[in-house]
Structure 1
Amino acid sequence: MIRGVRGATTIEKDEPEIIFSEITKLVQEIVTANNIQPEDISSVVISTTTDIKSAFPAKAVRSLEGWQYVPTMCTHEIDVPGALPMCMRVLMHVNTEVHQKDIQHIYLNNAVSLRPDLVK
């Protein structure tokens, strides 16, 4: 069965090093919390708010050991007034037998405000 695993984080500044560091941290926390192996991932979609434009977060994810064949892409979120700025979101499609209610969605930094019901 394929399940969606969500996560989000924010950055303080639109700089490639910060983008790569924070998206790597987020993805690693998602896979650790859910015991996910790269070969179990069908695809990863990373979205950013429109104020993030200095680097592709997917580049950092594809550079993780064992992730070079994981289909990964980036897109921009809808630019809604009042939305959380400097935010990167991840939707990972994973082959798993884990029940939907048991999936661990990860929200870091200021992104915890997006889904306080899922933050532990």
Structure 2
Amino acid sequence: MRAIRGATTITENTAEEIYKATSELFQTILLENGIQDAEELISVIITVTEDVTAAFPARAVRETKGYELVPVMGMQEIKVPGAPLKCIRLMVQVISDKKLTEMKHVYLHDAVRLRPDLSRKK
């Protein structure tokens, strides 16, 4: 079992933007890690900063075709001074024999500053 981290940010606290950003992040995590089947997933944990309130990001994961039955849990992130605002974080737990160094974590938009060491190079 392994966990894949990811984070993204939104510019406005709207349901449409929350779903779009969460879907983009989830799809990118799946693609970057070669995950093609929901049976490879154990669960997805989502946290949001206190300024993300217009919708539940978990809906975007549950509405991903083929991934409707994956357990998803959402909660609020702790408030840390200087941390990115309007931030959505995912921890995707997968069944995998890959080494830790082989897992591809995904940080998009302003969230790249959370883990520049793990962010994809452009």
TM-score grouping bracket, smaller chain normalisation: over 0.9
Report the AA paired with residue 78 of structure 1.
Answer: I
Which stretches of structure 1, 4 residues or longer, exceed 2 Å deviation after superposition?
none
Superposed, 1:17-36 pairs within 5 Å as 17-36=16-35
Paired residues for 1:1-120 under 5 Å: 2-36=1-35, 37-120=37-120
Q: What value does the CA root-mean-square deviation take over the aligned residues?
A: 0.7
Distance 2:76 2:31 in 1: 26
What is the CA–CA distance in structure 1 between the aligned matches of 2:119 and 2:79, rounded to whole Å? Answer: 24
Gaps of 5+ in 2: none
CA offset at residue 98 of structure 1?
A: 1.1
Q: Which amino acid aligns with 1:100?
A: L
How many angstroms apart in 1 are the aligned matches of 2:101 and 2:73? 26
Deviation at 1:86, TM superposition (A): 0.4
TM-score normalised over the length of structure 2: 0.95
SS in 2 for 1:68: coil
Please state how far the C-alpha of 1:81 moved relative to its aligned partner. 2.4
Q: CA deviation at 1:83?
A: 1.8
What secondary structure, in the 3-state scheme, does the structure 2 residue paired with 1:56 have?
coil
Q: Distance in 2 between matches of 1:83 and 1:111?
A: 9
Paired with 2:98 and 2:30, the residues of 1 have a C-alpha distance of 13
Of all paired residues, the percent bearing the same amino acid is 42
Give the drift of 1:55: 0.2
The separation in 1 between residues aligned to 2:105 and 2:80, in whole angstroms, is 23
C-alpha deviations, 1:18-66, integer Å up to 9, x for none?
0000000000000000011211100000100000011000011101101
Alpha-carbon distance between aligned partners in 2 of 1:22 and 1:83, rounded to the nearest angstrom: 18
CA distance in 2, matches of 1:87, 1:34: 22
**Cα offset for 1:82?**
2.2
Separation (CA, whole Å) in 2 of partners of 1:75 and 1:64: 20
Stretches of structure 1 that go unaligned for 5 or more consecutive residues are none
- TM-score of the superposed pair, with normalisation by structure 1: 0.96
Corresponding pairs, count:
119
